[in-house]
Amino acid sequence: MSKQLSPKQFIDLIKPNADLIIPIANGEPIRLLDLLEEHAAQLNNVKIHQMLALRDRAYIRGELEQLRHVSYFLSGATRHVYQQAKMDLVPNNFHEMPRLLQKTTNLSMIMTVASPMDEHGYFTFGTQADYVAEFVGKVPFVLEVNEHMPRTFGRNQIHISQIAGYVEHHAPLAEEKASTISDKDIKIASSIIADIQDGDTLQIGIGSVPNAVISMLKDHRHLGIHTEMLPDGVANLVNSGAIDGTRKFTNPGKIVATFAFGSKNLYDFIDGNPAVEMLPVSLVNDPREIAKEKNIVSINATTEVDLYGQCASETVGGKYYSSSGGQVDFARGVRFAENGKGYICMASTAKNDSLSRIKLNLSPLSVVTTGKNDVDNIVTEYGMARLHGVSIAERAKRLINIAHPKFRDELMFDAKKNGFLL
């Protein structure tokens, strides 16, 4: 009996009050979501749960009363909708997502893109493992089979006997446009590169500073990768001999990630590559697992920092922009690791140098993502402030020293006026 579903057969699987789980980024099933919107009149109180939605849709905009989007990380497709109070945003740390979904939803169905079935009857989730791989064998899966999805290794396979059905939809994967690397990015990256040793294991986020760091690592050796998102430049570092993973303490020789998002070059690199392992986020981002990598280096970004060292990484000027993601997972993981090092980066100013990103207080309504007790190093183009284990007064001095020079006198005055400094 074929498990390929007609539109009617798929819609018939969706029960009233269902909670549907969608993966991150390219795990988003275009055709299945199209069918839900086309047949919304036949549905009743269905919620769709997802981090990082890629595409603007009517149900996300709140235009279909039978379907409601629940976000766990905002994107360009959801940010403005949330700011109009038309959808829900659930706070979370990335590694807790499987447990959170299990606790707060019915886990009615998982809908995900998959690579075509192999001769043994297995599909893979390709660029994904994230929070859906945790539920293989436990929750009904409907797959959207896409010949453009790479076949990958790790804990992201599912057998045809384990799925409720599938549809086919073959479309090129969405690609992340590489951020332009500026002179500021090079200066920030240079400070971090000076701390990275041969044999370190890296978690590198998305953006221009991580891209700059990657571009400057080709002469390092025996680097490892243990990261939530696998970025584009990893393939080049493997080819240059910088990454081989031989000194990793967990999964030696393997490039470990929970999802991949970049260019076609990255997707071609992971396709059929046994050195790449896509593992569930409950493993990759668990601070206890991260800490097993004794020489883990975590590199992430923020939007502003106050003189305590608190980082507002998910709001911009007090408005929600994203969510916590895995920043706190890795901030805590490197603290537990024997030689762990964490770096949170930003340009010192915003709005054409008219606004300092190092402030006495965070902008009103800003959300603290990485707290003062978890932060390790803050980096701007003016250098690095090493904050872990130092007093509040010393933190203020070090942060003021890496602020843009035109704001340092004002920051020093405010710090003294408010009791940070004598």
Percent of the chain with pLDDT over 90: 96
When the pLDDT of each residue in the chain is averaged and rounded to a whole number, the result is 97
Residues annotated as catalytic (active site), given as ranges: 228
pLDDT at 1 over 80: no
* Residues 2-56: tens digit of each pLDDT: 899 999 999 999 999 999 999 999 999 999 999 999 999 999 999 999 999 999 9
pLDDT digit string, tens, across residues 338-388? 999 999 999 999 999 999 999 999 999 999 999 999 999 999 999 999 999
Distance (Å, whole) CA 395 – CA 401: 10
- Measured CA to CA, the distance from residue 13 to residue 359 in angstroms comes to 52
pLDDT of 207 above 90:
no
Residue 179: predicted pLDDT: 82
Q: What is the pLDDT of residue 49?
A: 98
pLDDT tops 80 at residue 123: yes
pLDDT (average), residues 275-289 = 98
* Global pTM value: 0.96
| Under 8 Å between Cβ of 50 and 68 | no
Per-residue pLDDT averaged across 102-129, rounded? 98
Cα(104)–Cα(96) distance, integer angstroms: 12
* Beta strand 19-22 pairing with 109-114: parallel
Between CA 50 and CA 387 the distance in angstroms is 34
Q: Can you tell me whether residue 383 is helix, strand or coil?
A: strand
Q: What are phi and psi of 223, to 5 degrees?
A: -70, 150
Which token pair is 246? 């031989």
Task: Name 245's bridge partners.
Answer: none
Query: Helix (H, G, I), strand (E, B), or coil: what is residue 50?
Result: strand
Predicted confidence band of residue 93 (pLDDT cuts 50, 70, 90):
very high
**Residue 258 pLDDT greater than 90, yes or no:** yes
Average pLDDT over residues 304-311: 98
Handedness of CA 209, 133, 124, 74 (dihedral sign): negative
Residue-level pLDDT at 366? 97
Give residue 206's pLDDT band: very low, low, confident or very high (50, 70, 90): confident
Residue 225: predicted pLDDT: 98
Per-residue b/e over 302-325, b at no fewer than 16 CB within 10 Å?
bbbbbbbbbbbbbbbbeebbbbbb
Question: Torsions phi, psi of 14, nearest 5?
Answer: -90, 110
